[in-house]
Amino acid sequence: MSTKVAFITGSAKRIGASTATYLHNKGFNIVLHCHHSVSEAETLLVSLNSQRENSARLVVANLCEIDDLGLLAEQVVGAFGRLDVLVNNASSFYPTPMGDITQSHWHDLFGSNVQAPLFLAQHLAENLTVNKGVIINMVDIHADRPLQQHTVYSMAKSALVTMTKSLAIELAPDIRVNGVAPGAILWPEQALSDADKKKVLQQIPAKTLGTPEDIAQAIHYLCEAKYVTGQIIAVDGGRSVVSSHKV
């Protein structure tokens, strides 16, 4: 099969679903992934396959269960018999104020944001090498400037940035590894007050939220940019160059 295949973790909704749709429209076959959001993932699966027959598959797995990642990788490769792009998009995100941090928070936030991307990359490296593939990790502008009361999350994203740069060296020249650092794209599922939303927008030179399609475009660029590796591209309307932000 000559059609390129992209596997996107956490692709049932939000940025993951937009990325899957965007790459599918660019001609990729897509392996979708979800854990809890099975209904949304199945709806997207039907939509993609209705546009182009047998162009999408779905795998369901808990990425925090490290012993299951090898089997997941086998399912991903078996879906179409090849793999060209791994997008580590799935991510838990919530506050962990000091004094309230638990081992469960650590397991979940590091499991989804660091452990799964690392071990999926390891399990899938052989297949990505065959096709001179690419790994794209979804990091965060808060990897460099920690988000208040989100210490564990910010630590995990910082580790993912380091992993991205390290694997870009270790897996070269056969696999390129890059990251995308979204700024304010969608309001978090945990509700923000109108005052907090206003504060965020004031910190963005572009004075507006981005869209999931903005992230998908950056990911597609990195899929095709043959001489780009080890880079983190901020898609944030200029927010990361502002001197400080807390929300």
CATH code, domain carrying 235: 3.40.50.720
22, 153, 221, 227: the catalytic one is: 153
Residue 194 lies in a domain: no
Residue 231 lies in a domain: yes
Residue 203 lies in a domain: no
Q: Which two tokens stand for residue 126?
A: 């052989």
Residue 28 lies in a domain: yes
Residue 81 lies in a domain: yes
Write the DSSP symbol of residue 9.
Answer: T
Q: Give the number of other Cβ atoms within 10 Å of residue 200's Cβ.
A: 18
d(CA 170, CA 177): 10
First to last CA, the chain: 46
Helices marked H in the chain — which ranges? 14-25, 38-51, 69-80, 103-110, 116-130, 151-170, 194-202, 212-224
The pairs formed by 154-157 with CB atoms below 8 angstroms and a separation of 24 or more are: 155/110, 156/109, 156/110, 156/113, 156/114, 157/113
Altogether, the residues listed in the chain come to a count of 247
Write the DSSP symbol of residue 239.
Answer: G
Q: Which backbone phi and psi does 91 adopt, to 5 degrees?
A: -160, 125
According to the model, what pLDDT value does residue 196 have? 79
Q: Do 165 and 229 touch, CB atoms closer than 8 A? A: no
According to the model, what pLDDT value does residue 243 have? 54
- Overall number of domains in the chain: 1
Q: Is 22 a catalytic residue?
A: no
Residue 199 lies in a domain: no
Each residue's pLDDT tens digit, 143-186: 888 889 999 999 999 999 999 999 999 999 999 999 999 987 77
Averaged pLDDT in 10-residue chunks for the chain of 247 residues = 94 97 98 97 98 98 97 98 98 95 97 98 98 97 88 97 98 98 75 78 84 96 98 90 59
Residue 69 lies in a domain: yes
Give residue 7's identity as a one-letter amino acid code.
F
Residue 71 lies in a domain: yes
* Domain span including residue 122: 5-186+210-241
Q: Which two tokens stand for residue 81?
A: 């018999």
Give residue 165's identity as a one-letter amino acid code.
K
The three-class DSSP label of residue 226 is coil
